[in-house]
Structure 1
């Protein structure tokens, strides 16, 4: 079976576009059906991204709820390499951390590998 490239899936393409628009609940909705079908590190990565999006969404109404989801996400992302499946995982974590510290309204970038890397 050929490896699944997450960034080539319609779910990830939609989720990243929604992320850049600050529609974090919708990111969760876009990725959840795919997440349910995945296994291994791809599932962990996707679950972690869903939880980061949930953290940013929840932080709009409850700062503590945002941090709870952020820490749950770390549990799923901690064993992945700094960059995985073309996503700069460690940078995504740090950008989300900074956005949560800045308060509601900050939309962190979704760091991807460039073709120059």
Structure 2
């Protein structure tokens, strides 16, 4: 591919066709990458949360971000900012795992601020989300990131829902 040529999707929009690693970083053309999350998929709320948790648990927060981004872009109602905040938490973890700890911390705090607005009377959020736990996780991780080396995204993955005792 020449310097001035760009990859295009089927609609003609610029979109890199380069393979990606597990954290969404582009790899050289022809390299073996991980399969990308399909974009624009309509999922149920339960499907979104289950798929995102699976991806987070597998150490693939960039891909979880893509799942949340689909929900965010598809929702025109009051939960739109919830999905946006969850996407920011996942991409904040992505940046932290890539070694961009300053950007990661910034996104984690921004996402925590967004999701905090959805805490109900007992702290739980819509769809059984553990809003206090997510906010605490994001703030604690952001506080540890200053000058740190990249984090292990699998070891740092948050739990989206409160675990039964």
TM over 0.5: yes
TM-score by structure 1 length?
Answer: 0.78
* Match in the other structure for 1:75: 113
TM-score by structure 2 length?
Answer: 0.58
Structure 1 unaligned residues grouped into runs of 5+ = none
Contact 1:88 1:112 in 2 (8 A): yes
Query: How large is the Cα RMSD of the aligned pairs?
Result: 2.2
Cα distance between partner residues in 1 of 2:81 and 2:112:
10
What is the aligned length? 110
Given the alignment, which residue of 46, 54, 72 partners 2:91?
A: 54
Q: How does 1:93-112 map to 2 (within 5 A)?
A: 93-100=135-142, 101=144, 104-105=151-152, 106-112=155-161
Contact 2:88 2:110 in 1 (8 A): yes
Given the alignment, which residue of 49, 52, 59 partners 1:12?
A: 49
Contact 2:53 2:160 in 1 (8 A): no
Deviations 1:19-65 (A, max 9, x none): 11221100011221221111344212211111011111101221100
Asked which structure has the greater CA Rg, the reply is: 2
Structure 2 unaligned residues grouped into runs of 5+ = 1-43
Cα distance between partner residues in 2 of 1:113 and 1:68:
24
